């Protein structure tokens, strides 16, 4: 997939919520959302400062979506390469997804809209499989993925010890989810 390939996605408005392609000008707000998501250790093993230190370079150039509420970025959905797919073309249509939403906006259906938009955008980019790694305790995200056609493919038990946040010093189970497109990569 060419890095500069565009994708078509309808902007989705719900009251003042807008999902759109991310732009470079959004980077600082995206990193702030990511830091918010990392703060309590409920979403990732990464510490909050990792968002600032790593920046967004580890994510694929497209699709990258943001969700705005009243003109402020409150969430994002980006993809990461799976198994260094740049060097392994047989995995070129497989990516790991990252969706983060400010905690203040959880529970309003925005994550559902963002996931739906990411599925649409990823298929437009030629991705046939999306992967997600979710902590066992994150029941809301697990339920969301199942509603959108993801399957639970396995549990990585006591994968790593959490170093910060609510689950500090605890070994965490990570559940792997996968969603196979019913329109891309069929031939």
pLDDT tens-digit map of 5-43: 333 344 455 568 899 999 999 999 999 999 988 888 778
Burial grade of 78 (CB within 10 A; 0-12, 13-18, 19 or more): buried
From CA 157, how far away is CA 172, in angstroms rounded? 7
In sequence order, the 6+-apart residues with CB closer than 8 A to the CB of 26 are 66, 73, 76
pLDDT band at 51 (very low <50, low <70, confident <90, very high): confident
From CA 118, how far away is CA 21, in angstroms rounded? 10
Percentage of the chain surpassing pLDDT 90? 67
Taking a C-beta distance cutoff of 8 angstroms, is the pair 132, 177 a contact? yes
| pLDDT greater than 60 at residue 2 | no
Using only C-alpha atoms, what is the Rg of the chain?
16
DSSP state of 148: T
Q: What is the dihedral of CA 87, 52, 75, 103, to 10 degrees?
A: 130
Q: What is the model's pLDDT at position 90?
A: 85
Q: What is the model's pLDDT at position 12?
A: 54
Phi, psi of 175 (to 5 degrees): -100, 130
Taking a C-beta distance cutoff of 8 angstroms, is the pair 111, 97 a contact? no
Look at 9 and 67; give whichever has higher pLDDT: 67
From CA 65, how far away is CA 117, in angstroms rounded? 8
pLDDT band at 133 (very low <50, low <70, confident <90, very high): very high
Domains belonging to the chain, first-starting first, are 12-180 (3.40.630.30)
Q: What is the model's pLDDT at position 41?
A: 79
Taking a C-beta distance cutoff of 8 angstroms, is the pair 103, 92 a contact? no
Q: Among 134, 131, 129, 8, which residue's Cα sits nearest to residue 63?
A: 8
Q: Among 77, 89, 62, which residue's Cα sits nearest to residue 113?
A: 77
Q: What is the model's pLDDT at position 62?
A: 94
Q: What is the model's pLDDT at position 6?
A: 39
pLDDT in tens, 74-115: 999 999 998 765 566 888 899 999 999 999 999 999 999 999
Is the alpha carbon torsion for 154, 126, 61, 100 positive or negative?
negative
pLDDT band at 125 (very low <50, low <70, confident <90, very high): very high
Q: What is the model's pLDDT at position 86?
A: 57
């Amino acid at each position: 997939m060419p890095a500069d390939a565009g994708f078509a996605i309808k902007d989705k408005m719900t009251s003042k919520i807008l999902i759109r392609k991310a732009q470079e000008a959004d980077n600082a707000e995206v990193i702030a959302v990511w830091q918010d998501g990392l703060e309590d250790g409920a979403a990732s093993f990464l510490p909050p400062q990792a968002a600032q230190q790593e920046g967004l370079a580890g994510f694929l150039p497209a699709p990258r979506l943001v969700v705005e509420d009243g003109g402020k970025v409150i969430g994002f959905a980006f993809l990461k390469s799976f198994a260094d797919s740049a060097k392994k073309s047989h995995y070129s249509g497989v990516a790991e997804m990252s969706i983060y939403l400010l905690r203040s906006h959880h529970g309003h259906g925005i994550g559902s809209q963002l996931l739906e938009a990411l599925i649409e955008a990823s298929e437009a980019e030629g991705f046939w499989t999306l992967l997600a790694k979710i902590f066992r305790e994150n029941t809301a995200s697990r339920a969301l993925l199942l509603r959108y056609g993801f399957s639970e493919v396995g549990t990585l038990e006591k994968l790593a010890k959490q170093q910060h946040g609510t689950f500090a010093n605890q070994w965490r189970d990570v559940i792997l989810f996968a969603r196979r497109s019913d329109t891309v990569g069929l031939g």
